Structure 1
Amino acid sequence: MVKLPSVGLALSGGTAKSVTHVGVIKALVEADIPVSFVAGTSGGSIVGTMFASGMPISTMETVATNMSWRKLVSIRLTRMGFISSERIEEFVTETIGHLYFEDLAIPSGVVATNLVTGDRKIFRHGSVARAVRASCSIPQIYLPVEIEGEYYVDGGLSEYLPVETAQELGAEFVIASHLAPVDPTYRRPRNILQLVVQVTGLMARKNFPISEQKADFVVHPNVDAYSSFDFDHSAEMIEIGYDATKRLIADLKDVWQRAGGLGPRIARKLLGE
């Protein structure tokens, strides 16, 4: 019997749109796709660590549909930024408990960016909540986060779609859930927060094609109609993620099963992907 490759799940950033990942995960769980590794960036790290903690999908849906900026933002004026990200750390702790990476049911990595070097940092040890806080700290919106004497900001600047991170964790077959705009047409920002997020997205966009090519299977839910700051439509975005993945399950299983005998990238090539 052919041994199927271990599956890793790479969850992109996406700010409020990251709740879409919950629907993607729900479809994978229903299809009995066994996820052995989880990598998350920015908002994807919140959803990824909830899943990796062993939280039931129904609970994840409840948490996601009840999220709000009030739960994630603490106004605090400083020289480096005007919003403290400590509420993100508190939210993660309140949601999954004061866990360390070693406590997670599924081995995971959280991506952040070193503020000095610009290098990607993969957190896989220590406090989960602290790492997620660093991964979500968008420059000029949130303050940088200090961990072991180094300062970190949003992981999307170094690896928006953490496919390589999933591979480095040990995944042999990486499923990527990518929330970058399907139609990257310029949209005029309506406020400073939208402007900062749009600029950050532009900086990360150059790596999108490379990351997608390194993945073995990509799910790209179309949530272009929703704002990056919109938690009022979380249920709809979760449903979009679920439907987008559900439609691809047969193809996904085909590629995954072929990968068991051919190797993931050879299987994708034969399927014309």
Structure 2
Amino acid sequence: MNVDAVFAGGGVKAFAFVGAVEAAEERKLSFTRIAGTSAGAIIAALLMAGYTSKELYRLLDQLDVVKMKDERMSFLPLPVAKWINLYFRLGLYKGDQLEAWLQDVLAAKGIRRFADLPSGSLRVIVSDITQGRMVVLPDDLPKYKYDPGAFSVAKAIRMSCSIPYFFEPVKLNDRSTKKKTFYMVDGGLLSNFPMWLFKDGSQGGWRRPVIGFQLAPRLDERPPAVINNAVDMYKALFETVTSAHDVRYISEKHAKNVVFIPVEDIKSTDFSLTNEEKRHMIELGREKTTAFLSTWTP
């Protein structure tokens, strides 16, 4: 069966998507179009490039996630250097290693630019914090005077994965004037789970069935935020800002098309994952997706 798919952001928790894809393959599901945010965009791009679940497993199993934390060279003491990078570079880590890895693994399948993919098959969510708006790549690139087909897929994914303050923002220069610079960061700020993206506005429905893969519990199983201090309040505010738009859309009538994979006790930025933790997430993704597909009716 041909379906469209949406993969949510979630940092290193995205290992669970490998198991989810394996379960989908076992049910003979074929992804025609895929959208993703942040780590979900990585999975989306790799799938559209032609990677199978087995290949994804090997690829991510061999990935040294610690190397993704690429600090700038400095002769200053580490704590001082980190604060300087955070203040002046706007991020602790560059993000170059992530983009370089993406370029290599995509090029291995012959994918470098969006033109190398079927038209409209991959869409990536990015946050333009200079203009305060959500950006869908490659669709919105003409607004910045870029040719969508010629734009680097790896660059787009890196933008979507640029967690604020963790990775440096990606600077996109306006090609018409050369005078404007737009700061692009993690798409999860504005839509971490863009299930709405494939809705056909003219018909009010879907071109084909859409399945979403979410790295969180079902909406009715999520505990309320506990707010006892300013830090708790900040976390609650951030969670509200990043999820309110998507939660409202899902809760209306689309939750029945979402695979909820509750990856708990692992932080999105925990780059020191053990092999056991990776395997646990992969198995959890497979288990939840298998259970979902056993009762799902498009």
TM-score, normalised with respect to structure 2:
0.73
| Higher mean C-alpha deviation, range 215-224 or range 52-61 | 215-224
Equivalent pair of 1:7/1:34 in contact (CA under 8 Å): yes
**Structure 2 partner of 1:147:** 172
Structure 2 counterparts to residues 215-226 of structure 1, below 5 A? 215=254, 217-226=257-266
Q: 1:163 aligns with which of 182, 190, 195?
A: 195
| Structure with greater Cα Rg | 2
Range 12-21 or range 113-122, more displaced:
113-122
Cross-structure match for 1:205: 243
| Partner secondary structure for residue 167 of structure 2 | coil
Q: In the alignment, what sits opposite 2:113?
A: 100
Tell me the CA shift for residue 199 of structure 1.
Answer: 6.5
**CA apart distance, 1:132:** 0.5
Q: Which letter maps to 1:40?
A: G
2:9 partner SS:
coil
In 2, the alpha carbon distance for the partners of 1:72 and 1:197 equals 24
Instruction: Trace 1:230-269 onto structure 2 (pairs within 5 A).
Output: 231-232=273-274, 233-252=277-296, 255-256=297-298
* Equivalent residue in structure 2 for 1:133, among 158, 161, 182: 158
Deviation by residue 1:9-49 (Cα, 9 ceiling, x = unmatched): 00000010011111111111110112110001001011111
Q: Secondary structure at the match of 1:203?
A: helix
Structure 1 residues 234, 134: closer, same or farther in 2, change over 3 A? Answer: same
Q: CA deviation at 1:185?
A: 5.8
Q: Shift in Å at residue 156 of structure 1? A: 0.3
Matches within 5 A, 1:1-273: 7-76=3-72, 77=85, 79=88, 80-97=90-107, 99-104=112-117, 107-124=121-138, 125=148, 126-149=151-174, 150-167=182-199, 171-180=207-216, 183-184=222-223, 200-213=238-251, 215=254, 217-228=257-268, 229=270, 231-232=273-274, 233-252=277-296, 255-256=297-298
- Kindly indicate whether the alpha-carbon contact (under 8 Å) linking 2:8 and 2:37 is maintained by their aligned counterparts in 1: yes
Tell me the amino acid that sits aligned with residue 167 of structure 1. Answer: K
2:225 touches 2:236 (CA, 8 Å); kept in 1?
Answer: no
The residue identity in structure 2 corresponding to 1:153 is: V
Number of residue pairs the alignment of both structures matches: 245
User: Unmatched 5+ residue regions in structure 2?
Assistant: 73-84, 139-147, 175-181
Counterpart-to-counterpart distance in 2, 1:17 and 1:159: 17
Report the Cα distance in structure 1 between the residues aligned to 2:41 and 2:240, rounded to whole angstroms.
Answer: 20
Structure 1 unmatched runs, 5+: 257-273
One-letter amino acid of the counterpart of residue 143, structure 1: E
TM-score by length of 1: 0.79
Which secondary structure does the structure 2 equivalent of 1:36 belong to? strand
Return the letter of the residue paired with 2:195: V
Once the two structures are superposed, residues 160-214 of structure 1 have per-residue CA deviations (whole angstroms, 9 ceiling, x without a partner) of 00212233798532211011356456599xxx9xx99887444212224224246
Deviations 1:126-174 (A, max 9, x none): 2110001000001111111123432210000111002122337985322
Identity %: 24
In the aligned structure 2, how far is the partner of 1:181 from the partner of 1:196? Answer: 21
Aligned-pair distance for 1:249?
A: 1.2
Residues 191 and 243, structure 2, Cα contact 8 Å, conserved in 1: no
Residues 33, 17 of structure 1: CA spacing in aligned structure 2 closer, same or farther, 3 A cutoff? same
Is contact 2:190–2:241 with CA below 8 Å preserved after alignment? no
Specify the SS of the correspondent of 1:156: helix
For 2:29 and 2:112, locate their aligned partners in 1 and report how far apart those are by CA, in whole Å: 25
Q: Which moved more, 1:42-51 or 1:118-127?
A: 118-127
- Whole-Å Cα distance in 2 between the matches of residues 160 and 217 of structure 1? 16
Please, what is the CA RMSD of the aligned residues?
2.8
1:221 maps to amino acid? I
Separation (CA, whole Å) in 1 of partners of 2:93 and 2:208: 39
Amino acid at match of 2:30: P
